[in-house]
Amino acid sequence: MASAVPDKRTRTALVQYPPSQRYVVDSLRTAFSRQLPGWTLFTSAAELADGQKVDLQWSDYDALDWDLAQDEHTLLNSFCIRKGLIRKSNLAHTIALYLSKNPDSSLRRAAPKTFHFSCSFADELDELLMDDLYEVDQSFVEADAGGESKWWILKAALADKGNGIRLFNSRETLEEIFQEFEPESDDDEEEEEEDKEDETRPAASRAALFGADTRVDATQLREWVIQEYVSSPLLLDPAPDSNTHGTKFHLRVYVLAVGGLAVYVHHPYLALFASSPYQPPAASASESGEFDLSAHLTNTCLQTSVLGEEAPSVSVSTLQSMADKVILGGPHEGEKLSEERISRVEESVREAVAEVFKAAVGAGSSFQALPNAFEIFGLDFLVDSSFQVSLLEVNATGAELQGIIDHLFACTIDTAVKPFFARQDTQAGGAGDAEDKLVDTFERLHVGGSRGLKEVLRVEISRAW
Domain boundaries, the chain: 9-77, 87-228, 233-275+312-395
Residues in CB range of 131: below 8 A, 6 or more apart: none
Enumerate long-range contacts of 67-71, CB under 8 Å, 24 or more apart: 69/370, 69/372, 69/373, 71/3, 71/372
Residue 291 is predicted with a pLDDT of: 66
What is the C-alpha separation between 334 and 205, in angstroms, rounded?
35
* pLDDT at residue 428, rounded to an integer: 62
Residue 111, Cα to own-chain centre: how many angstroms?
14
**In 132-225, which ranges are continuous DSSP H helix?**
134-144, 171-181, 186-190, 192-196
Tell the CATH topology of 233-275+312-395. Answer: D-amino Acid Aminotransferase; Chain A, domain 1 (3.30.470)
Cα angle for residues 224, 297, 26 (degrees, 5° grid): 95
Question: Given this model, what pLDDT does residue 427 score?
Answer: 64
> With contact defined as beta carbons under 8 Å apart, do 395 and 78 qualify?
no
For the chain, 465 residues long, give each residue's pLDDT as a single digit of tens: 444 544 556 899 999 999 988 989 999 999 999 999 999 999 999 999 988 999 999 999 999 999 888 899 999 999 999 999 999 999 999 999 999 999 999 999 999 999 999 999 999 999 999 999 999 999 999 999 999 899 999 998 887 766 778 899 999 999 999 998 887 765 555 555 554 444 444 433 333 443 445 667 776 778 899 999 998 999 998 876 665 679 999 999 999 999 999 999 999 999 999 888 898 888 766 554 556 777 787 765 544 444 444 444 447 889 999 999 999 999 999 999 999 999 999 999 999 999 999 999 998 889 999 999 999 999 999 999 999 999 999 998 755 567 888 999 999 999 999 999 988 877 665 544 444 444 344 444 443 445 799 999 999 886 544
Residue 389 backbone dihedrals phi, psi, to 5 degrees: -95, 145
What span, in angstroms and rounded, lies between the C-alpha atoms of 21 and 26? 9
How far apart (Å, rounded) are the C-alpha atoms in residues 377 and 463? 22
Task: Please tell me whether residue 193 adopts helix, strand or coil conformation.
Answer: helix
* Gap between the Cα atoms of 41 and 21, Å rounded: 17
Helix axes 88-101, 339-361, angle to 10 degrees: 90
**Quick check: 13 and 420 in contact, CB under 8 A?**
no
CB atoms within 10 A of CB 368: 20
How many CA atoms does the CB half-sphere of 318 hold within 13 Å? 17
CA-derived radius of gyration, the chain: 24
The CA-based angle 409-249-119, given to 5 degrees, is: 90
Position 159 scores a pLDDT of: 76
Q: In what order do the strands lie in the sheet with 75-76?
A: 40-42, 12-14, 56-57, 75-76
